[in-house]
Structures are given as structure tokens and as C-alpha cells.
Chains A and B, each alone.
Chain A
């Protein structure tokens, strides 16, 4: 009789411990992962990012192979100006940070601050894009164009393709802000915002390699 009670008590304690453990593991997810649709979307974005990294890899490889084939046009050393590149890098890095802040506010269901941070992200991205347009225009005046040499073609393919990604990201962000201007944060909206922020970080990640491999290495090699 006594033994049975004792076993019963131990069993109850074990079951209770199990419940606490599983409660800790079954914590409800953050809002962007709350629905099956949201989870599917974000897996899709990651698959897209994996494919994109392969695409950028090809452009990087081609650039590295052809960067000295300047056809006696201006070389990387003569073309690049580091202060401008540094400003562009700072802008894009900061915009990555502001989009992270937008996601943190989204998870707290604060729609107002989320949109404010997203708008700031857009402005920083736009400033980056304007700098790049100024830069390309400057290069064209220095006779460094898409068709001037193999270096020109591979340079504009790589850096221009990245710029096109920034442009697409800005259009995406604009559509996101306009479409959801009057909406709050819901499990329907959240994966859309999160998907954009993943994409934007990836574009920034690619830029880290562009400023290192194209601009900084172009100044020394």
C-alpha cells in the first residue's frame, strides 16, 4: 500500500517534470512563423537566397578572372575612390540594421515603429543607389563602360547586378509599405515583412564581398 503510494508520487513528479520540459519546448513561435503559409514562404525565400548566392558566385568568379583585362583603359587603381565606397558601405550596413529594428518591432506587434524603421531602410537604400548611379556615371566619363573591355563587362555585370537587387528591394519595400499602410501587424503581414528583411540582409551580405573583393582588392592588386 505504502509502496504503491510512493511509486505513484514519483510517477506524478516525473510526469510534472515532463510537462514543464515540454512546455519550454512548445513555446509558440514568433509571429512570422505562426502560420503554415508563413513558414512555407520563408523556406521559399531561403531557397531563393541559396540559388542567388550561386548566381552571384559566377559573377564574382568571372570578375576575378577578367579584372586585369582592361584593354589599356583605366585600371581598378585609377578608377576607384575609397571615400565614396566607404560611404556606400556605411549606408547599406545601416539600412540592414534598421530593417532588423523593424523586425524586432514587428514581433512586438508595434505597427507604427515597424513602418518607421522600414521607411528609414528604404531611404538609406535609395541613398546607396544614388551614390552608385553617380559612381557609374563618373566611370563612363572616364571611358570605363560595359563594352570598353572584359574588365568593364565583368565589373558592371557584378556591381550592376547587385545594384539591380537594391532597386528591386526598394520597389518591393515600397509596395509593402503602401499595401499595408492601414494594416496592423498580423500573422498574415508578418512573413511578408520578414521575407523582405531576409532578402535585404542578403543583398547587404553580397555587398560586403563586393567592397572587399572589387574595391579594396582593386586598390592593391
Chain B
């Protein structure tokens, strides 16, 4: 029975890889943000339909928040079963609340 260390600091290689992943995630986030703002400023001028642009930017927001949760909040890492469960329940209740109230206020 070997004694386990309490924790292991990651090696230089692992850290470099993590740093690269997080930097890429950051660059992608900024890119998606520019895309969203650009869609609102230019696509509408170019005659794109409002419904399409709104769906597009909400889609981008979902992608960007997934980046935050899975990469920056480490939700994708091992041993995150309970956090994932909490997160999904949060997302589910959020979706029900927002969709429910919006539908109610459309046909009031």
C-alpha cells in the first residue's frame, strides 16, 4: 500500500497545454462577441430578418456560455458529476422559466 500524495502540481507540459486551451477559449469568446455585435450592426442594415439575427445571436450566446462552463469552470473535467447535475438542473429550470413567461406574455 503506497502512500498517495495529497495533490500533484501539474507538469510544465500539462500547464502549457492548459494555458493554450484557455487562451484559445478566450480568443474564441472575443471572436463570438464581435460576431454578435457585428450581426446586430451590419446584418440588419443589409436587410437580414430580425428573427434570424436574434436566433443567431442567442445561439452564439449559448455557445459562448458553454465555453465558460465547460472549459473555464472545468465542468468537462473528471469528478464533476455533481456540479454537472446542478448545472443541468439550473439550465432546465432557467429554460422553463424564461420560455414559460415569454409565452404567457405573448398571448395575454
* A positions within 8 Å CB-CB of B: 26-31, 33-35, 42-43, 46-47, 49-54, 56-58, 60-62, 64-66, 82, 86, 89-90, 93-94, 96-97, 100-101, 104, 107-109, 187, 198, 201-202, 204-205, 208-209, 211-213, 216-217, 219-221
Contact = CB atoms under 8 A, between A and B. Distances in A.
B101 A65 contact: yes
Interface string B1-24: 000111111100001001100110
Chain B interface size, as a band, is: 35 or more
Nearest to B19: A104
**Interface-central residue, B33, B57, B73, B93, by most chain A CB under 10 Å:** B73
A204 B30 CA distance: 13
Given A28-B4, A93-B33, A101 B68 contact: no
14 contacts: A27-B8, A28-B7, A31-B9, A43-B83, A54-B97, A57-B97, A61-B97, A61-B101, A107-B10, A107-B15, A208-B68, A211-B36, A213-B61, A217-B54
A47 B29 contact: no
Given A35-B6, A82-B37, A62 B101 contact: yes
Given A33-B79, A108-B15, A201-B68, A61 B102 contact: yes
Contacts of B61: 208-209, 212-213
A100 B26 CA distance: 10
